[in-house]
Structure 1
Amino acid sequence: MDVALLHLALTRMLGSGGPPENLTRLTGGANMESWSFDRDGSGYVLRRAPGDALMAGRSYGHDVEAALIRLAHARGMRAPDVVGELVDADGLGSGYLMRRVEGTTDPRAILADPPRRLIDDIARELARIHAIPLKQVPDGIPGSDPGAMVEALSARFECYGGDRPVMALALRWLRDHLPAPAEPVLLHGDFRVGNLMVGADGLAAVLDWELAHIGDRHQDLAFGCINSWRFGKIDRPAFGVGQLDALFAAYQRESGVAVEPARFRFWRVYSTLWWGMCCLEMADIWRSGRDRSLERAVIGRRASETEIDLLMLLEEEAPAAERGPVSLPSPAPVRRQGEPSGVELLEALLEWIERDVKPKLSGRDRFQANVALNALGMLRRDGPDAFDRPLSDDLLAGRATLATPGLLARLKRDTLAKLEADQPKYSALAKAREMWS
């Protein structure tokens, strides 16, 4: 970030004043940058895309996003206060400036001891977003159709190889369970822990509105309930905070609309698969050179998280005879004599970063060190892949199903082995071992 250019942009947006102080890039944010700083005694956050490449493929720009956040803030929601927008002449890319809200977005900190009222706060904010009259929504916010959205996922699946059987199974399930049209409402589109600022008293702000669109309210309710966004709290299916019955009851109190379990299930499967596709897209962005950050490549290996989640969601539809236990082969032992093996060299590198490098870092540099440790751990544990294009084609076509003898057991074994290498601490892995072995 060029501090001199930022100072000039702030003068244009806020008037004359001192230079930005305590400029810090916030951790996370694989798609956009967020910079926190102080100016003349007030705190601000600049959300921006430094170049056009990161805005490619988006339905609307930061101008529409900022207008939507302003609308939500004006209607009394826990949305940030947008006080300015970047222009081309600023030389800082595309983005907007907000007053900083105090609290934390750290999922681990939030979910370790969530405020008692957080489930009610979540239900209230979702109900308020869904109640915004569509005639007030800024031009450019797109509509959505479940069938078209599923086919868009299918096209992405094909683009990324079309060879992951569990994803093919989920695509076929979604096609077979498309819900009837629903009352269209404004959706946040990325409403989950990690995009919620939380303080001691509850929800402080709803952030990251870049995926807002018009559609079925159940999509917003289900998105934050997928296991990837519960950050280890697999026993709390409602946003990692509580139970689904409490969420549904609170949402009905706030909105006057009852949650339909079948619709919620459809959107939970859809959202789980959608995030899996996003993980594969991160790898594609890295390969293309649009962004060669390590974080992109590592997120690409999180697709296996979504595959085990999808199997756990869908296996109840398999015949009882196919839902038996499975076992994993024991990993090959590492040779511990003579010259160091590849695994041992990776162990040495992991230990060096953990012991000698990471303690000297802070902020985003420390975050990146953790990303590097994660990547090296994947290499150390790496095993056979679980890709199979012919089986994926058979599942998409309906020639293979969960009733196919032995198929579910194979998918379980392959998915467990893949996740064991990619993310051995992922909460669903322990749960699946408990259920399946």
Structure 2
Amino acid sequence: MTGLDELTQGLAAALARIGLPAPEGLERLSGGANMESWRFQAGDAVCVLRRAPSLEMMAGRPMDHAGEVQVVRAARAAGVMAPEVLVELEPADGIGSGYVMRAISGSPDPNAFLAEADPALAIRDIARELVAVHRTETAGLPAPVMDTAEALGELRRRFLEYGGDRPILALALKWLEANLPPPVTPRLVHGDFRLGNLMFDHGRLTGVLDWELAHLGDWHEDLAFGCMTVWRFSRPDRPGYGLTTIEDLARAYEAAGGDTFDPARFRFWTIYRTFWWALGCLQMGGFWRAGHDRSVERVVVARRTAEQELDLLLLLEDLAPEAERNRPLPPVTEPLQPGTGEPSGAEILTAISEWLTSDIKPLVSGRGKFDLAVARNALGIVAREIEQRPVATDAALAAQIMAGEADLATPGLLAQLRRMALNKLSADMPKYPALAAARAKWDT
């Protein structure tokens, strides 16, 4: 990891190429599963540096930062509220790969936005930007063209590489392979258009960020990704970007000049991107193990796979016969009870978490507060895992599902997978908003 002094020096060299002074007040922003973001002042300009934590993390990507910059500039020229790119990093700057953009007013905080936005106005803002993205001229853009069949084959390869032993993911993959939609004329797809990557001010959209996943493909993918349960944050009950219904989103998109909405394509892409993000979470553990990014955040994100498994089961359970949907869940594994002698491993972890809150939290600020919260979350995951002993893997069952030897009509399978999803998510991310609703629906 490049030190702060080296980062400041490299940034100064890049800014000098466009006549801006050296950066001041360099501050790492929270969030960003793949890329780092640093906010700073350069004279009168408020800027943000976007860069890869390591050059190794850019290896094998279908589009480098130079290509990303071209896409951002093309989208901005097409009327999208994309950021203004000021300068690109060069190897001689010595601080990796990335670019500097002018900061956009507002905040990306999803929960703050959902609390203050007028849903009818906000969904029209979102629909307008989506249509502008999908109408962007693509001739000459370096964005990769997505072949859905090839992309799904790559996801299968990755699933097997990551163990191929999670039955719920196997169930989703099997469905996707059986329901591949026919090709469409490719459009520019943002690829990560969701709350958290959108800037808002007083409930109105002010910017569209994070273009690293942009590609040419089916525009339904953008609508579906933003409607995934995980990106609805505090409003899992409102499937349209945490604001409204899918039907209202579709009407707003068409009213803004978009093409006719296809519910079947939308369903495919919702399941596809939920499965994709589950694998993306698992991949974070690989980045950590390989040493590309040894942050606690990386390994905690890897445990968010359980969120997507729950969501996938909710998306697919309607395929099961009624008798299976009504079958009671298997009994829950009794958690380990606290002893009366020496403290257990879970109790020790709880003690460390409490110490971080009482003694360390008052000493940190900025990015440090975010990292501290992530560390406490990690301790909680391990403590609950020790106590609850959840199981998310079953290589034999996953292989049966992949081979077509078991499906949601198999007696008891849906109930087994439901219990598995509830137990794992209760240990990994017990505050996930959709968990309570799933537990109330299934655990009766």
The normalised TM-score by structure 1 is: 0.96
Q: Is contact 1:190-1:209 (8 Å) kept?
A: yes
Please identify, of 352-361 and 281-290, the stretch whose mean Cα deviation from structure 2 is larger.
352-361
Deviation of the 1:115 alpha carbon: 4.1
CA deviation digits over 1:66-119, x for unaligned, max 9? Answer: 111111112221000111111111112111111111111122222233244211
Q: Is contact 2:54-2:293 (8 Å) kept?
A: no
SS of structure 2 residue aligned to 1:77: coil
The answer for the alignment partner of 1:340 in structure 2 is 343
Deviation of the 1:336 alpha carbon: 4.4
CA deviation digits over 1:272-307, x for unaligned, max 9? Answer: 000000000001111122221111111111101100
The answer for the alignment partner of 1:128 in structure 2 is 132
SS of structure 2 residue aligned to 1:259: coil
Separation (CA, whole Å) in 2 of partners of 1:348 and 1:377: 11
Q: State the one-letter code of the partner of 1:167.
A: L
Distance 1:51 1:386, change over 3 A: closer
Q: State the one-letter code of the partner of 1:245.
A: E
* Superposed CA RMSD: 1.4
- Picking from 371, 374, 390, the partner of 1:371 is 374
Separation (CA, whole Å) in 1 of partners of 2:181 and 2:152: 12
State the number of aligned residues.
Answer: 433
The answer for the alignment partner of 2:50 in structure 1 is 47
Distance 1:356 1:141, change over 3 A: same
Say whether 1:331 aligns with 2:337: no
CA deviation digits over 1:305-337, x for unaligned, max 9? Answer: 100100000000100000123254263353242
Deviation of the 1:160 alpha carbon: 0.1
Q: Is contact 2:52-2:58 (8 Å) kept?
A: yes
Q: How does 1:11-22 map to 2 (within 5 A)?
A: 11-12=16-17, 14-15=18-19, 17-22=20-25
- Picking from 57, 69, 77, the partner of 1:66 is 69
Say whether 1:76 aligns with 2:79: yes
Q: Is contact 2:51-2:96 (8 Å) kept?
A: yes
Say whether 1:407 aligns with 2:432: no
The answer for the alignment partner of 1:4 in structure 2 is 9
Separation (CA, whole Å) in 1 of partners of 2:176 and 2:147: 13
Distance 1:298 1:201, change over 3 A: closer
Separation (CA, whole Å) in 1 of partners of 2:224 and 2:361: 36
Deviation of the 1:11 alpha carbon: 0.9
Separation (CA, whole Å) in 1 of partners of 2:420 and 2:411: 16
Separation (CA, whole Å) in 1 of partners of 2:259 and 2:79: 21
The answer for the alignment partner of 2:309 in structure 1 is 307
Q: How does 1:266-345 map to 2 (within 5 A)?
A: 266-324=268-326, 325-326=328-329, 328-329=331-332, 331-345=334-348
Separation (CA, whole Å) in 2 of partners of 1:174 and 1:338: 51
Q: State the one-letter code of the partner of 1:144.
A: M
The answer for the alignment partner of 1:260 in structure 2 is 262
Q: How does 1:178-189 map to 2 (within 5 A)?
A: 178-189=180-191
Separation (CA, whole Å) in 2 of partners of 1:327 and 1:356: 42
Q: Is contact 1:185-1:215 (8 Å) kept?
A: yes
Q: Is contact 2:198-2:207 (8 Å) kept?
A: yes
Q: Which sections of structure 2, spanning at least 5 residues, go unmatched? A: none
Q: Is contact 1:232-1:426 (8 Å) kept?
A: no
Separation (CA, whole Å) in 2 of partners of 1:213 and 1:205: 19
The answer for the alignment partner of 2:436 in structure 1 is 430
Deviation of the 1:5 alpha carbon: 2.6
SS of structure 2 residue aligned to 1:191: coil
Q: State the one-letter code of the partner of 1:6.
A: L
Q: Which sections of structure 1, spanning at least 5 residues, go unmatched? A: none
The normalised TM-score by structure 2 is: 0.95
Distance 1:233 1:88, change over 3 A: same
Say whether 1:94 aligns with 2:97: yes
Q: How does 1:219-234 map to 2 (within 5 A)?
A: 219-234=221-236
SS of structure 2 residue aligned to 1:409: helix
Separation (CA, whole Å) in 1 of partners of 2:258 and 2:216: 19
The answer for the alignment partner of 1:160 in structure 2 is 162
Please identify, of 311-320 and 200-209, the stretch whose mean Cα deviation from structure 2 is larger.
200-209
Q: Is contact 1:328-1:417 (8 Å) kept?
A: no
The answer for the alignment partner of 2:108 in structure 1 is 105
CA deviation digits over 1:119-151, x for unaligned, max 9? Answer: 11111111111111322x52x211112222211
Separation (CA, whole Å) in 1 of partners of 2:144 and 2:287: 24
SS of structure 2 residue aligned to 1:209: coil
